[in-house]
Amino acid sequence: MKVFGYQLPGMSSLILWGLLWEIVGRVGVTFFIPPLSEVFQTLFAIIGTPAFVKALSETAYAFSMGVFFAIVIGIPVGILMGKSRLLDELLLPWVNIFLSAPLTALVPVLMVLFGFGMKSIIITTSLFAIWIIILNSRAGVMQINRSLVDMANSFGASSWEAFTKIYFWAALPEILGGVRIGVIRAVKGVIIGQLLISIVGFGALFELYSANFMMTHFWAVLIVLFALAFTISEFLAYLESRVAYYAAKR
Amino acid sequence: MATSQTKKTTGSRVEASVEIAVSARNISKNYGETEALKNLSLDFPRGQLTSLLGPSGCGKTTLLKIIGGLLSADSGEVEVGGQAVTGPGEDRAFVFQDFALLPWASVIRNVAFGLELRGVAKSERESIAEKYINDVGLAGFENSYPHELSGGMRQRVGLARALSVDAQVLLMDEPFSAVDEQTRRKFQEDLLSLVQNENKTFIFVTHSIEEAVYVSDQIAILLPRPSRVSEIIKPSGFRDKGPENIRRDPEYLDIVDKIWASLRSYVE
């Protein structure tokens, strides 16, 4: 963005929105919106407290485990669906249903099946992330250049070699795109899981703060969470741009 | 049309060594209802370049893929060096129309990729790749990526990859159709010296009549519906006159005319 001929650094518009927030907070329209400066004061005050660190580490654990399973299951399943017509016919309807289904409604079922602990939260997180990863990996494999496959076969590639040396790399731009969207959905999954299943991690903090009308605390935790999700997403977008140069040239 | 020259196939080079490197016997292949190939037989002499020429849909690429072992024939069989073909093998290597390079790999890894799949150790395969990168004139581009190269240079990478596995038979599927006209002429001249210098058997699919006549020791005209070999032409008179004289040789011009006369009714 350029103002009066000066090039402003990226995301300068956030300053404007921050100011607006501050003004609305100072005017005192509603107690739900405290001034942004107070939110940040609270943020720095609670960020080192044991309750916060515990919430962060629990959430990070559930999140990374959930994303890990979504990726290590999702990518191979997607690639196999892209390669095998039979598997595709069998699984595609389910993947599409789960992609658009309101997964929150499934969480109570997960509680019954897997108990009220961390296991259910991790599974919820995986369920939020995995479908788009499968679909994107599948799409990446389906647009693969047939002559690359012929080339590998003509040199006697085994199916494992074709998988690791051709299919995975050819589909990588789409796979990373899917992982990025999956990770963003996993943030939703981990918070919803924590709120609904067992009151732990950030879910517990949200519950505590909002029940007691501690709005500055509430917003402080929310900002931390948004910042984390945004950072991870931007990092994956950066990785994506590193491989995008060949996406158009396959 | 003067066809007498092409009928007498008594060129010394053709007759001297009629050892057959690849032979296709009674090949049939259907795609569903469509007959791609019907009872097709064809021999490919060792050390020579044979073109498969015909209108689109005549099954020339299908035949090439069957010889390469990428497709299996419904009936009939292919023998390479006396061995029946059951799949891809180390005695054959492909050059693809769209180059089929790995966009995420450098030139040297692409050239060495055939050897990599055959389990050759990294240092050994890279020194072999190095040699062929030099041979095709790409020295200095070892660490470039395909998207940084022109179409002609990319096909040189594809050619170096096929040469580096040292297969007896090179299968070329319209290798020059995706490069510009001037590069194509250079490639055709280079191919002539490649056929001269390497003692390999070349099977060359093309839809260009001029290209086929220019580079081939033997031209198989394939006609569609049902696909079959309608004629085999062995140009003999102009091969030794040097690459720059071929295009104005009377025999060259006559053969081009004759092939066009027999193909024109099949072009929609």
Residue B34 lies in a domain: yes
Residue B246 lies in a domain: no
d(CA B72, CA B91): 17
How confident is the model over A203-232, as a mean pLDDT? 85
Bond from prior residue into B226 cis (ω within 30 degrees of 0): yes
Structure tokens of B50? 């044979």
What distance in Å separates residue A185's CA from the closest CA in chain B? 29
Q: Which residues of B166-199 are buried (b: 16+ CB within 10 A; e: fewer)?
A: ebbbbbbbbbbebbeeebbbebbbbbbebbeeee
Tens-of-pLDDT digits for all 268 residues of chain B? 344 444 444 444 444 557 888 999 988 888 887 788 888 899 999 989 999 998 877 788 889 999 999 988 888 889 988 888 888 888 899 999 989 999 989 999 999 999 999 889 999 999 999 999 998 888 899 899 988 898 889 999 999 999 999 889 999 999 888 888 888 988 998 898 888 888 899 999 998 899 998 889 899 998 887 778 888 888 887 777 777 888 888 888 889 999 898 888 877 7
- Is B104 an interface residue toward A (CB < 8 Å)? yes
Q: Best residue in B102, B147, B159 to probe A by mutation, most A CBs within 10 Å? A: B102
d(CA A70, CA A135): 12
Residue A136: the pLDDT is 94
d(CA A5, CA A3): 5
Over residues A188-201, the pLDDT tens digits come to: 888 888 888 767 78
Residue B187 lies in a domain: yes
Domain tally, chain B: 2
- Is A157 an interface residue toward B (CB < 8 Å)? yes
- What residues of B are in contact with residue A154 (Cβ under 8 Å)? 68-70, 88, 92-94, 171
In 3D space, the residue among B33, B58, B28 whose CA is nearest the CA of residue B207 turns out to be B58
CATH number at residue B51: 3.40.50.300
- Is B97 an interface residue toward A (CB < 8 Å)? yes
Q: Best residue in A145, A154, A239 to probe B by mutation, most B CBs within 10 Å? A: A154
Residue B247: the pLDDT is 82
Residue A1: the pLDDT is 62
Same domain, B181 and B60: yes
Residue B164: the pLDDT is 92
Domain residue limits at B179: 12-91+170-234
Phi-psi domain of B8 (left: phi exceeds 0; alpha: psi -120 through 50; beta: other) = beta
Cα B169 to its chain centre, rounded Å, is 9
- Is B113 an interface residue toward A (CB < 8 Å)? yes
**Pairing state of beta strands B75-80 and B169-173?**
unpaired
From the CB of residue A80, how many other CB atoms can be counted at a distance below 10 Å?
Answer: 18
Cα B141 to its chain centre, rounded Å, is 25
- List the single residue in B with minimal CA-CA distance to A245: B147
Residue B7: the pLDDT is 41
- What residues of A are in contact with residue B145 (Cβ under 8 Å)? 246
Same domain, B23 and B150: no
Cβ distance of A166 and B102 shorter than 8 Å = yes
Over residues A41-100, the pLDDT tens digits come to: 888 888 888 888 888 888 889 999 999 999 999 999 999 999 889 999 999 999 999 988
- Residue pair A117/A126 in contact (Cβ under 8 Å)? The answer is no
Q: Apex CA A14: angle with CA A12 and CA A18, to 5°?
A: 130
- Is A195 an interface residue toward B (CB < 8 Å)? no
Same domain, B20 and B76: yes
- Is A169 an interface residue toward B (CB < 8 Å)? yes
Same domain, B226 and B132: no
Same domain, B145 and B183: no
pLDDT at A235 over 70: yes
- What residues of A are in contact with residue B157 (Cβ under 8 Å)? none
- Residue pair B68/B102 in contact (Cβ under 8 Å)? The answer is no
Residue B155 lies in a domain: yes
- In which element (H, E) is residue B53 found? strand B49-53
- Residue pair A183/A233 in contact (Cβ under 8 Å)? The answer is yes
Same domain, B49 and B110: no
Cβ distance of B147 and A249 shorter than 8 Å = yes
Residue B54 lies in a domain: yes
Taken in order of first residue, the domains within chain A and their CATH numbers are: 47-249 (1.10.3720.10)
Residue B9: the pLDDT is 43
User: What's the length of chain A?
Assistant: 250
Residue B65 lies in a domain: yes
What distance in Å separates residue B241's CA from the closest CA in chain A? 36
